[in-house]
Amino acid sequence: MSESKIAKKLMSESKIAIELINVDKHFGAVHANDKVNLSVESGTIHGIVGENGAGKSTLMSILYGFYQADSGQIKVFDKDFRATSSRQSIEAGIGMVHQHFMLVDNFTVLENVILGSEGGALISQSLAKARIELTRLAKEYGLEVELDIAVEELSVGMQQRVEILKGLYKGARVLILDEPTGVLTPQESDELFRIFDALKKQGVTIILITHKLREIMNITDHVSVMRAGKMVAHRETSKTNPEELAELMIGRKVLLNIEKSKAKSGKALLTAKNLEIYNEQGLKRVTEVSFQAHSGEILGIAGVTGNGQGSLLKALAGILPLSKGSIKIMGKTITPESHLNPKQLRELGVAHVPEDRQKMGMIADFSASETALLGYHNDKEINQGVWLKRSSVKANCESLMQAFDVRPNNPNLMSSNFSGGNQQKLILAREFERDPEVLIIGQPTRGVDIGAIEFIRKRIIEMRDAGKAIILISVELEEIMSLSDRIIVMCDGEITGTVDAKDANEATLGMMMANALQPQDEPKGAKL
Amino acid sequence: MSDFFLTAVLTLDASVRVCVPLIFAAMAGLFAERSGVVDIGLEGKLLMSAFVAASAASVFGSPWLGLIAGMFASSVLAMIHGFASITYKGNQIVSGVAINILASGLTMILTLAWFKRGGITPTLQGDERFLSITLPGVDFIDHIPFLGVIYRELISGHNILVYLAFAIVPVVWWIVFRTRFGLQLRAVGENPKAVDTAGLSVEGLRYKALLIGGILCGIGGAYLSTAYNAQFTKEMTAGGGFIALAALIFGKWHPYRVLAACFLFAFLQALAIRLQGVIIPGIGEIPVQLIDATPYILTIILLAGFIGKAVPPKASAQPYIKEL
């Protein structure tokens, strides 16, 4: 096989930092890692791609000592290695930046860095020592961070720097990063990649877990592909292309770009004027936001997570009240004084696909048939007096499953037992199949496998072509750009830009997402 | 005027005495909750220790042996709590309530089994209990007006455990905010995953915190039955463990503020005792029940709105389950 040949070639050519041999891991019935082999050359950037649930994170967590492999062998810098806790991994020179940061929010940067490697029984000396060392590291790699500020007050990008510094301070020579750009603006990502370069020059080995093929192509030296727990291919990045990688990831050809016809946009079905919205914690999240959504059009709302899109979505769905402004929707008007709740909105023909399907879209412990009627449980067809008609409930779910190809098509299965993609398809089916006029969709493909992404996007475009008004909120720029007809960019609760999709490119959208777009061309990343 | 002054000093003095078990229990709770384990079993540990300390002091004739036995008994309960809620990831509240019920029932049964009396232990005589210590210089300072009274009544004349209680607060502060263990303790209560991925043992840290709590509760319980009183009586903690828990929230899990809260609650209790039988012109005698209820009513009012938002350690009450 060509894969193993490449692996062998790598081994003979240079020093191997990490070598995994037949690493196997089960979680109950799930075979998370199936005899995985991997070798990572020292001083390179090695990408690991795969769909959600392909076993990338599990594999790296084994390497980091968070989980233990059932069988197999691990070598770190040619030494046999077996970790029962992260301590051994840290001692062996492995650092990991998790997807969800492992930081103590109310600790200062300095305290977070020394946690677990304090040195003495008193923290004052360790803090002093860390301050000197971190100042040095910051200079060497361009990782400047304020050291005495509580981590919760830092931006996500800065928190990520703290995580990287934590690893370096503890002597990491191999740094694993799990989906590091998921929470960053494109400019912040570029900054991160610049840091990668600096690290690489100093001989640090970087393992990058991602599902974004663009990143793999731009910055890695080698790439390994995982699918369903197996390592299916190793490639030199320069000798592969996104199409091949995508095919390897899902095991068949996929269309990365959905074809769509020109939008035939009609009358405005939803008009939002000067919206001001406070979130559940009483913080102002949206200020002075106005826009219109037309029939037959997809309006994309882009922005880095946490810039008010979530609250806007909830207000449009009737979950959060307005504190100022008005929303005209299907002939009715929502104002701070006259609120419409989600049920009333649904009756008007507004469908809502929440951003967080686990928390708001479904109930994990309910059967699929119960999840399939959430929000529509008062419908006449499924009610008989105070009782639900079990047969109709089941029939409803079966027809939704059929329409959206949900697998397995078993209405009695617990909702949590479906894969992310199939859960999402069931929720979309529930909302789409009631023939709504306005669709408010949050993160339709978050945590969904590529095959399902393709399917979901096609369905969204079908709804558009059927004359519905669609408001799409997504943190994936690529998704916004490939689906939307018009794009609104939000930053810090305000609209920082509106562009026609055909004029949009990643650079300008990125600048708008960071609210760094000035009439005079500012240097790139200046306001980050 | 000087009568009023003396009364005020004596009320404060009584507050100091009432305060002691609250301080020990609250500091115990502070360690537990800072580590992410809610400790509703403080009451049970105080009670168990009070009983065991009084029994041991009575049998062996030494309050020190009583103290050690009390600390041991309380620590055993703390470890049971840990076993259920840390190792087996059970619900911390349920396990804490179980500790309280266990202590309540066990003390009753054991008084019957060991001493053939329902709910009390033999009265401790003379130096079988902790006696008051007169600090040096009382006679000398006594001549100074006001200061003399304060020194004689308020500062001098307590037993060793009282002084220990007040001395332990700065020590707790120092441990929590200045030592490696304290840093790790605070981290594990806020984000156990960060601790786990830093290569530290979440369970180990939580067990340590509970063990320290067990020992502190043990001292508080022993104080009740072998220093403040001279025997164990049924349910003698009278909700002290819960008041300590309230003080912990009231003091926002910070040692000095918690001390202040403990003292406030103790002062209210002492005041209630003082005010019994006092006739207020135009109103008449204050009902005893109302006075007794004052601390609890005030606790509710204060907790309901007067202290701002009390944010507990983030991981509080959540068993740590390892997953990504």
**Interface size between A and B, measured as CB pairs under 8 A:** 80
Q: Contacts of residue A83 in chain B, CB cutoff 8 Å? A: none
pLDDT at A254: 62
Q: Scanning the structure block, which residue is given the tokens 């990668």?
A: A196
Distances from the Cα of B78 to the Cα of B29, B37, B169, B213, angstroms: 11, 11, 20, 7
**Which candidate in A115, A122, A170 is best for mutational testing of the B interface (most B CBs within 10 A)?**
A115
Is residue A78 in some structural domain? no
pLDDT at B21: 97
pLDDT at A380: 85
- Asked if A114's CB is within 8 angstroms of B196's CB, the reply is no
A27 touches chain B (CB under 8 A): no
- Asked if A106's CB is within 8 angstroms of B178's CB, the reply is no
- Asked if A103's CB is within 8 angstroms of B178's CB, the reply is no
Q: Is the pLDDT of residue B206 over 90?
A: yes
Q: Which residues of A163-182 are buried (b: 16+ CB within 10 A; e: fewer)?
A: bbbbbbbbebbbbbbbbbbb
A102 touches chain B (CB under 8 A): yes
Q: Is the pLDDT of residue A10 over 60?
A: no
Q: Is B159 helix (H, G, I), strand (E, B) or coil?
A: strand
Closest CA in chain B for residue A120: B180
Confidence of residue A519 (pLDDT cuts 50, 70, 90): very low
Q: Which residues of B98-131 are buried (b: 16+ CB within 10 A; e: fewer)?
A: bbbebbbebbeebbeeebeeebbbbebeeebbbe
pTM (two decimals): 0.79
Closest CA in chain A for residue B205: A116
Per DSSP, A485 falls in state S
Are A322 and A455 members of one domain? yes
A123 touches chain B (CB under 8 A): yes
- ipTM given for this complex: 0.89
Q: Which residues of A18-44 are buried (b: 16+ CB within 10 A; e: fewer)?
A: bbbeebbbeeeeebbbbebbbbbbebb
Residue type, B225: S
C-alpha distance from A281 to closest chain B C-alpha (Å)? 13
Q: Contacts of residue B194 in chain A, CB cutoff 8 Å? A: 102-104, 112, 115
Q: Contacts of residue A447 in chain B, CB cutoff 8 Å? A: none
Contacts of B304 (CB under 8 A, 6+ apart): none
Question: Is residue A259 classed exposed, middle or buried when 0-12, 13-18 and 19+ CB atoms within 10 A define those classes?
Answer: exposed
Is residue A12 in some structural domain? no
C-alpha distance from A111 to closest chain B C-alpha (Å)? 8
Q: Is A438 helix (H, G, I), strand (E, B) or coil?
A: strand
Q: Is the pLDDT of residue B36 over 60?
A: yes
A268 touches chain B (CB under 8 A): no
Q: Scanning the structure block, which residue is given the tokens 């095959």?
A: A451
- Asked if A107's CB is within 8 angstroms of B190's CB, the reply is yes
pLDDT in tens, A172-188: 999 999 989 877 878 88
Closest CA in chain A for residue B188: A104
Q: Could you give the number of structural domains in chain A? A: 2
For chain B, give every domain's residue range: 2-237
Strands B279-280, B284-285: pairing kind:
antiparallel
Is residue A330 in some structural domain? yes
| CA–CA distance, B100 with A363 (Å, rounded to integer) | 35
Q: Is the pLDDT of residue B209 over 60?
A: yes
Q: Scanning the structure block, which residue is given the tokens 């001001």?
A: A276
Report residue A62 CA to chain centroid gap. Answer: 22
- Asked if B197's CB is within 8 angstroms of A86's CB, the reply is yes
Is residue A79 in some structural domain? no
Is residue A234 in some structural domain? no
Who wins on pLDDT, B18 or B297? B18
Q: Contacts of residue B179 in chain A, CB cutoff 8 Å? A: 121-123
For residue A70, give the nearest of A28, A12, A132 by alpha carbon.
Answer: A28
Closest CA in chain B for residue A86: B199
**Which candidate in B35, B184, B197, B324 is best for mutational testing of the A interface (most A CBs within 10 A)?**
B197
Quickly list H helices, A179-298.
186-201, 213-219, 242-250
| Mean predicted lDDT score pLDDT of chain B | 91
Confidence of residue A526 (pLDDT cuts 50, 70, 90): very low
C-alpha distance from B249 to closest chain A C-alpha (Å)? 18
A179 touches chain B (CB under 8 A): no
Please state whether B288 falls in left (phi above 0), alpha (psi between -120 and 50) or beta: alpha
Half-sphere exposure (Cβ direction) of A498: Cα atoms closer than 13 Å: 9
H helices, E strands: number in chain A: 17, 22
Across the interface, of A87, A103, A111, the residue whose CB is closest to B183 is A111
Cα distance between the two ends of chain B:
67
- Asked if B187's CB is within 8 angstroms of A107's CB, the reply is yes
C-alpha distance from A122 to closest chain B C-alpha (Å)? 4
- Asked if A122's CB is within 8 angstroms of B179's CB, the reply is yes
Contacts of B268 (CB under 8 A, 6+ apart): B294, B295, B298
Residue type, A8: K
- Asked if A106's CB is within 8 angstroms of B194's CB, the reply is no
Across the interface, of B182, B193, B201, the residue whose CB is closest to A102 is B193
Share of chain B above pLDDT 70, in %: 98
- Asked if residues A456 and A425 have their Cβ atoms less than 8 Å apart, the reply is yes
Report residue A29 CA to chain centroid gap. Answer: 26
Are A150 and A290 members of one domain? no
Is residue A508 in some structural domain? yes
C-alpha distance from A104 to closest chain B C-alpha (Å)? 6
Domain assignment of residue A291, given as a range: 268-365+435-513
Q: Which two tokens stand for residue A25?
A: 């891991």
Closest CA in chain A for residue B201: A85
Q: Is the pLDDT of residue A101 over 70?
A: yes
Strands A284-294, A268-278: pairing kind:
antiparallel
DSSP string for A119-188: -SSBHHHHHHHHHHHHHHHHHHHT----SSSBGGGS-HHHHHHHHHHHHHHTT-SEEEEESTTTTS-HHH
Across the interface, of B184, B201, B314, the residue whose CB is closest to A115 is B184
Closest CA in chain A for residue B193: A102
Across the interface, of A64, A90, A124, the residue whose CB is closest to B178 is A124
Per DSSP, A305 falls in state T
Please state whether A72 falls in left (phi above 0), alpha (psi between -120 and 50) or beta: left
Q: Scanning the structure block, which residue is given the tokens 């609209």?
A: A495
Cα distance between the two ends of chain A:
46
pLDDT at B284: 78
- Asked if B199's CB is within 8 angstroms of A88's CB, the reply is yes
DSSP string for A169-186: HTT-SEEEEESTTTTS-H
Q: Is the pLDDT of residue A521 over 70?
A: no
Q: What is the longest distance spanned by two Cα atoms in chain B?
A: 69
Is residue A186 in some structural domain? no
CATH code of the domain covering residue A288:
3.40.50.300
Contacts of B40 (CB under 8 A, 6+ apart): B92, B93, B96, B97, B99, B100, B245
Q: Contacts of residue A85 in chain B, CB cutoff 8 Å? A: 196, 199, 201
Report residue A144 CA to chain centroid gap. Answer: 26
For chain B, the residue count is: 324
C-alpha distance from B274 to closest chain A C-alpha (Å)? 43
C-alpha distance from B315 to closest chain A C-alpha (Å)? 11
Q: Is the pLDDT of residue B225 over 90?
A: yes
C-alpha distance from A123 to closest chain B C-alpha (Å)? 5
Peptide bond into A408 cis (omega under 30): yes
Confidence of residue B324 (pLDDT cuts 50, 70, 90): low
Is residue A427 in some structural domain? no
Confidence of residue B227 (pLDDT cuts 50, 70, 90): very high
| CA–CA distance, A279 with A308 (Å, rounded to integer) | 9
pLDDT at A383: 87
For chain A, the residue count is: 528
pLDDT in tens, B123-159: 999 889 999 988 888 888 888 888 888 888 888 889 9
Interface residue ranges in chain B relative to chain A, Cβ cutoff 8 Å: 178-184, 186-187, 190-191, 193-201, 314, 322, 324
pLDDT in tens, B86-123: 999 999 999 999 999 999 999 999 999 999 988 899 99
**Which candidate in B183, B190, B316 is best for mutational testing of the A interface (most A CBs within 10 A)?**
B183
Q: Is the pLDDT of residue B267 over 80?
A: yes
C-alpha distance from B154 to closest chain A C-alpha (Å)? 35
